[in-house]
Structure 1
Amino acid sequence: MQDHLPPPVLQPDTLLDLPTLRFPDRLNCATELLDGPVGAADRSGRLAVLSPHGVRWTYAELHATVSRIAHVLTEDMGLVPGNRVLLRGTNTPMMVAIWLAVVRAGGVVVATMPLLRAKELAYVIDKARISHALCESTLSAELEAARTGGRALRTMYYPGATRDGADPGATRDGADPGATRDDTGPGVGVGLEEAMARHPGRFSPADTAATDPCLIAFTSGTTGMPKATVHSHRDVMAVCRSFPQHTLRATSDDRFVGTPSLAFTYGLGGLLLFPLHIGASVVLLDRAAPRQLARAIDEFRATVCFSGPTAYRAMCMDPAPYRLSSLRECVSAGEPLPPVTRKMWKQRTGQDLIDGLGSTEMLHIFIAMRGDEAATRPGALGRPVPGYLAAVVDDAGRPLPYGEVGALAVKGPTGCRYLDDARQADYVRNGWNLTGDACWADKDGYLHYHARLDDMIVSAGYNISPVEVEATLLTHPAVKECAAVAAPDDERGAVVRAHVVLAEGHTPSPELVLELQRFAKAEMAPYKYPRLITFCAELPRAGTGKIQRFRLRGADGGSAPSAEREGASGDTASL
């Protein structure tokens, strides 16, 4: 199960110094997620997972569902420990049960974004050496197309969200979209629900080592081909005992909700691992647009929310009168949190946002700051979550003085292990994980985010943070969303180009270009202002919701109005 992982010299140091981060040699993380820690109060009658489609499973019902699926995997589909299982589905209670069943049976989960196409799925199947697949029937077409070219997968389909309210052990009527497609094994023509009905609701977990892989997560591919990151049972339990315990401070009485996909490690932690680990409940949304999220918060009286800056900003600007007063803790991650969005959310809900920096490579959030700290540390990202260490270093890996921008290096209980990928040597050096983020630290140890290293804009010798440019433009009432990137320039090497999505009631024009440029110059150093502005209907995003800046860097600006300001004090614009 350790095949194709990096050699020891390229693996990160693992810090397990805290008592809560010490684990037995034999560990199956699905056991503690379902049953709770040894000696904990019985949770079987408590609500575990809910959905807008009528599901209200207790922990006992979830446990039985997981057990039946594990029996199907091992007895009907021939799964043995170490097999990689592709999961393809939206955020539903069934998806949660399937994830837990694969891990409980000793398999390795490879969850994929629902929007992935056949070519992208084929890459994942080949890279992760996948042998089995469980797929929502409405998403079958792309998976079937990806199976061509000799990719033999033992596959079962299950109904989507509209069937979630059904008895998880009930027999399905055998409609073709739910049938098994098994190129190499038994059970042809049987859907997952029908197969589950044949099995008992108890399953003994596989005897796995704490360091055995249980999850392969693919990066979002915002800068190139996605990388496959491998995480163990111990890694999963380590993140459950890090950020949520020290920063989130949720309890078993909380009800979680959010927008990120379970295929995205941010969503996996916030909407599966963290709530189940503490015996709380979670609302799964198969459609996670900001308005659907706000409606679910109102309907289910959710208390803990995981989402991103774009969704929080959209909910603030939505005139729909959904009640958000039940919220107690709200986490923002995935993209930099603009101060204006933090302020808007506080005005809308009375709650502060918890800002977090995490990565697929590290599994979840490792730098964080509670919202009540933001008032005294404006613009700060936060400090390392207990259990993690962080440093700001130069190109040679030497620590930089306070206030100097450099590369963020991190080590802790989790770390980067790419599957069969030469890029491991770029991410891990001397035991430290180099996250690709440019930051600086103040004298109290708070980190301040500057940019992604590959997003830095260098113009006429000046280092310009796109995050700062975006945060400034977002304070203008005409700007709904924006992203700043470098555009080639013969004189300066590069200049700032801002791609702007306008708020309702504003239309693109050369006059608005000049207004935004003058506004930016008045709010920050003149060399940082966007010399080029392009208006667009929407920003390109990956399935995780992250802006795909590489696509913006390759954009030519199209035919939308744009302008360039010549010189630091010029008042004219040329089209």
Structure 2
Amino acid sequence: MELSPSAYVDTFCRDRLPPFPLWPELHFDLPELHYPDRLNCAQRLLDDAVSRWGADRPCLLTPTERWTYGELLCRANQVARVLVEDFGLRPGNRVLLRGPNNPWLVATWFGVLKAGGIAVTTMPLLRATEIAALYAMSRPAIAVCDYRYLDELAAADIPGLAVLAYGGPGDLDLTRRSAAKAADFTAVDTAADDVALIAFTSGTTGRPKATLHFHRDVLANADTFSRHVLRPRQDDVFTGTPPLAFTFGLGGLVVFPLHVGAATLLVEQATPRQLAELVAEHGVTVLFTAPTAYRAIMSAGVVDLLAGLRRCVSAGEALPAAVWEEFHAATGLRIIDGIGATEMLHVFISAADDDIRPGATGKPVPGYRAAIVDEEGAPVPDGQPGLLAVTGPTGCRYLSDPRQTAYVKDGWNLTGDTYIRDQDGYFWYVARSDDMIVSSGYNIAGPEVEKALATHPYVEECAVVGAPDSQRGTIAKAYVVLRPGAAADDATVKALQHHVKQTIAPYKYPRAIEFVTALPRTSTGKIQRGELRERARKATG
């Protein structure tokens, strides 16, 4: 395997790609996946869209704003100029992005890629210690941050990191800097296999993994799942809840709509009721969210506000057949379920319309192949559970991480999910194969929550597992052994939950805590998490 000559002066990412023998098999089975050697995905998605459909098409919407394609292109070009002219960005430099879903985050993402930078988009709720860990892995030269989220970035205390804020007061704000720049910028002539973005997994051990994705990968997801399963139209209006730091959100709320000239409604935060109201108010036709949100919209009694929807997409966690059936009965809409992975960038198994079988995730998306294998990589017969293995035009490439050999085996990407394939080729989710907790579409690593809990003076030891929950699918549940003198009461539960929220991203906190006198262990001293998971299941059964 040979990579195209890179446009990057800073070779940090290319130097840290896994050795070729450790890469998954890549194949480009569809003609639309045959990209030219030189490709800048920002230019393809934005400049080419303006050339093809005109500058006046609606592009980015918010509850209070409306940007056209031309305005987004203008601001992305100006951001690129600020980064290059004011901050000395060089091709291949990483730029950390931090903020909620709004137009300036999108403009900055495009500006970074046009300037030849590598976008490192992070969850806005991350705490200082988490930001510092991601910085240590990706070594960005610049951080661009919504001014409302500067405190934790400052608390990370990263020497030498240039910080540029947007949306706030002051002449040095990115929005004001950009307004003073010319509105044209020639995109850097990147290679199709130059790294465009670094996306972070939650990491089953609590230590994130940095996944490297090329410019061609960004388009490949639009030319597979979006083109062949979702099948969006130019007059669609997209919206959804996943943050743009999740590749599920990046695809569903930015790449897929812009790929066809559609508009997208960006929502910083919304309850299920507010989300349904925004769908109705703004004429949304395509919705991306987790099963939890569809269930909550029905529970809130506002499902009638979704009457204008044409497409509903669910991912991030398994979609129960009962939720699918109830939503279909209430709306007539068939939720498109799908499984994706940060390592694969987006959805690779799904089904739409008459191909849907409620309760099944679907079949491999055109362009991808999937199999069920055992621990040794041998095929498992249909109807029997095994490990989900996938290949396609995208695949896992960790940045300098020995865990590459665990995710990629014999050319297959092993997602960490247990599945069953039926005789008709449909894939049915069974469970996660590791310690990842998937709650309301968010990935939570149990060991990371344990580490945060263990720093509280009341905690002697603890273990965190997933527990079934009727509203969120699964929640993080902590089993805690308290130190002598600490009271096993509601006040201690609240104190521990507050401590975790202050230590790591708040959505990771244990929503249930049970105090125990000891944790179950193997003869070698390892915590028996399987026993705790079974205990949690019985407690809610």
Q: Please confirm whether the aligned pair reaches a TM-score higher than 0.5, indicating the same fold.
A: yes
Pairwise mapping of residues 344-493 of structure 1 onto structure 2 (< 5 A)? Answer: 344-374=326-356, 377-454=357-434
Kindly provide the amino acid, as one letter, of the partner of residue 145 in structure 1: A
Measure how far apart 1:558 and its partner are: 7.7
1:97 aligns with 2:107: yes
Taking a change above 3 Å as real, the CA distance of residues 103 and 138 of structure 1, as seen in their structure-2 partners, is same
1:270 paired residue number: 252
1:556 aligns with 2:479: no
2:148 paired residue number: 138
Higher alpha-carbon deviation: 79-88 or 447-456: 447-456
1:287 paired residue number: 269
TM-score, normalised on structure 1?
0.75
1:254–1:280: 8 Å Cα contact kept in structure 2?
yes
1:116 paired residue number: 126
1:207 aligns with 2:189: yes
SS in 1 for 2:180: coil
TM-score, normalised on structure 2?
0.79
Taking a change above 3 Å as real, the CA distance of residues 127 and 286 of structure 1, as seen in their structure-2 partners, is same
1:329 aligns with 2:307: no
2:86 paired residue number: 76
SS in 2 for 1:242: helix
1:35 paired residue number: 47
1:46 paired residue number: 57
Separation in 1 of the partners of 2:506 and 2:49? 35
Q: Percent identity?
A: 49
Name whichever structure is richer in helix by fraction.
2
1:15 paired residue number: 27
Kindly provide the amino acid, as one letter, of the partner of residue 205 in structure 1: A
Separation in 2 of the partners of 1:371 and 1:133? 42
Taking a change above 3 Å as real, the CA distance of residues 558 and 275 of structure 1, as seen in their structure-2 partners, is farther
Kindly provide the amino acid, as one letter, of the partner of residue 410 in structure 2: N
Taking a change above 3 Å as real, the CA distance of residues 290 and 361 of structure 1, as seen in their structure-2 partners, is same
Kindly provide the amino acid, as one letter, of the partner of residue 52 in structure 2: A
Measure how far apart 1:382 and its partner are: 0.5
Kindly provide the amino acid, as one letter, of the partner of residue 182 in structure 2: P
Measure how far apart 1:195 and its partner are: 1.1
Pairwise mapping of residues 461-540 of structure 1 onto structure 2 (< 5 A)? Answer: 498-500=467-469
Separation in 1 of the partners of 2:261 and 2:400? 36
Separation in 2 of the partners of 1:173 and 1:381? 49
Kindly provide the amino acid, as one letter, of the partner of residue 144 in structure 1: A
Measure how far apart 1:322 and its partner are: 6.0
1:65–1:201: 8 Å Cα contact kept in structure 2?
yes
Deviation digits for residues 208-267 of structure 1 (CA, Å, limit 9, x no counterpart): 000000100001345521111000001001111010100001111100000000011000
2:49–2:261: 8 Å Cα contact kept in structure 1?
no
Measure how far apart 1:43 and its partner are: 2.9
Separation in 2 of the partners of 1:450 and 1:373? 20
1:36–1:279: 8 Å Cα contact kept in structure 2?
no
1:55 paired residue number: 65
Separation in 2 of the partners of 1:388 and 1:546? 35
Pick from 208, 233, 240 the counterpart of residue 226 of structure 1. 208
Separation in 1 of the partners of 2:146 and 2:506? 24
1:4 paired residue number: 16
Separation in 2 of the partners of 1:359 and 1:547? 19
1:49–1:281: 8 Å Cα contact kept in structure 2?
yes
Gaps of 5+ in 1: 161-171, 175-189, 457-465, 471-482, 486-495, 504-535, 560-572
2:164 paired residue number: 156
Separation in 1 of the partners of 2:340 and 2:247? 9
Taking a change above 3 Å as real, the CA distance of residues 260 and 545 of structure 1, as seen in their structure-2 partners, is farther
SS in 1 for 2:288: strand
1:127 aligns with 2:137: yes
1:68–1:201: 8 Å Cα contact kept in structure 2?
yes
Deviation digits for residues 12-32 of structure 1 (CA, Å, limit 9, x no counterpart): 111112101000000000011
Taking a change above 3 Å as real, the CA distance of residues 155 and 396 of structure 1, as seen in their structure-2 partners, is same
Separation in 2 of the partners of 1:63 and 1:137? 22
Separation in 1 of the partners of 2:48 and 2:337? 28
Deviation digits for residues 113-165 of structure 1 (CA, Å, limit 9, x no counterpart): 111000000001110111111000010000011124xx3111110117xxxxx
Measure how far apart 1:499 and its partner are: 4.7
Separation in 2 of the partners of 1:498 and 1:201? 52
Taking a change above 3 Å as real, the CA distance of residues 502 and 30 of structure 1, as seen in their structure-2 partners, is closer
Taking a change above 3 Å as real, the CA distance of residues 557 and 333 of structure 1, as seen in their structure-2 partners, is farther
Separation in 2 of the partners of 1:104 and 1:65? 12
Taking a change above 3 Å as real, the CA distance of residues 63 and 75 of structure 1, as seen in their structure-2 partners, is same
Measure how far apart 1:547 and its partner are: 8.8
1:27–1:210: 8 Å Cα contact kept in structure 2?
yes
1:222–1:548: 8 Å Cα contact kept in structure 2?
no
SS in 2 for 1:220: coil
Aligned-residue CA RMSD (Å): 3.2
Separation in 2 of the partners of 1:102 and 1:216? 12
Kindly provide the amino acid, as one letter, of the partner of residue 399 in structure 2: L
Kindly provide the amino acid, as one letter, of the partner of residue 7 in structure 1: P
Kindly provide the amino acid, as one letter, of the partner of residue 143 in structure 2: A
Separation in 1 of the partners of 2:302 and 2:419? 38
Gaps of 5+ in 2: 1-10, 447-464, 473-492, 518-538
1:132–1:155: 8 Å Cα contact kept in structure 2?
yes
Measure how far apart 1:379 and its partner are: 2.1
Kindly provide the amino acid, as one letter, of the partner of residue 403 in structure 1: G
Separation in 1 of the partners of 2:221 and 2:466? 38
Pairwise mapping of residues 249-264 of structure 1 onto structure 2 (< 5 A)? Answer: 249-264=231-246
Deviation digits for residues 401-449 of structure 1 (CA, Å, limit 9, x no counterpart): 1111110110000000011111100000121101111111111111111
SS in 2 for 1:556: strand
Taking a change above 3 Å as real, the CA distance of residues 389 and 68 of structure 1, as seen in their structure-2 partners, is same
Separation in 2 of the partners of 1:260 and 1:122? 23
Separation in 2 of the partners of 1:500 and 1:412? 34
1:88 paired residue number: 98
Taking a change above 3 Å as real, the CA distance of residues 56 and 240 of structure 1, as seen in their structure-2 partners, is same
Taking a change above 3 Å as real, the CA distance of residues 216 and 19 of structure 1, as seen in their structure-2 partners, is same
Looking at CA atoms only, which structure, 1 or 2, has the larger radius of gyration? Answer: 1
Separation in 1 of the partners of 2:321 and 2:23? 36
1:36–1:277: 8 Å Cα contact kept in structure 2?
no
2:109–2:119: 8 Å Cα contact kept in structure 1?
yes
Separation in 2 of the partners of 1:37 and 1:328? 23
